[in-house]
Amino acid sequence: MPLTLHFHPLASFCWKPLIALYENGTPFNPAIVDLGDEESRAAFLKISPSGKMPALRDDARDCTVLESTIVIEYLAARYPGTVELVPADVDLAIQVRQADRFYDFYVQEPMQKIVGDRLRPGDKTDPFGVEQARDQLRNSYAIIEQDMQAKTWATGETFTMADCAASPALFYANKVEPMGDKYPTVKRYHDQLLQRPSFARVVEEAQPYFHMFPYNNG
């Protein structure tokens, strides 16, 4: 089996390529990274010197692919399956990539700001930055609420890379800044993603690690 995904089951950006792999039943070796373990960390740094996950190793082509979006792009190009995660049509592909960037930059990143602040020492927190991040999440919810009115998935009627990005982004964002009843379309999309077998599998596999998430509420 030539593919190995180096990841942590709790890391939101690692969920994206896991969903992509499960969507198409792509065979791979899962390699869980524990950055708190000296041996595991040292081994991973040889693969990804920045220490950032996920990292996909393709022994068949002797290459390592970093960053969640690029990993999915690589899989779509080199190991395509029945689910076309990156459309061949140029215009559709641009829509998918734009939506992917939206969920990474305007949902994932502010969510991670809030989570990261919770992990800081008490005298090193950033209340102003956290409130800015919450404002960004609420603004993103409002954008999604309008954009998803007539859509089944992020860019239309087909599940794509954009939905791989939206799944962890909305899952964790809802933990730190609950959607409540104000964004019913966003909540509908969030719940629909959770019912997707590939994402449901990722969430199930992460269950043993959820106690480590500082905003865990069940």
| Domain 90-212 in this protein, CATH class | mainly alpha
Please compute, for residue 12, the number of CA atoms within 13 A of its CA located in the half-sphere on the CB side: 24
How far is C-alpha 75 from the chain's CA centre? 16
pLDDT in tens, 36-58: 888 888 988 999 998 889 999 99
Q: Which CATH architecture has domain 3-78?
A: 3-Layer(aba) Sandwich (3.40)
For residue 39, the model assigns a pLDDT of 87
Domains 3-78 and 90-212 are alike in CATH topology: no
For residue 218, the model assigns a pLDDT of 38
pLDDT in tens, 141-168: 999 999 999 999 999 999 999 999 999 9
State which residues of the chain have pLDDT below 50.
Answer: 217-218
pTM: 0.94
Domain regions of the chain by residue span: 3-78, 90-212
Quote the percentage of the chain above a pLDDT of 90: 85
CA–CA gap between residue 39 and residue 26 (Å, rounded)? 28
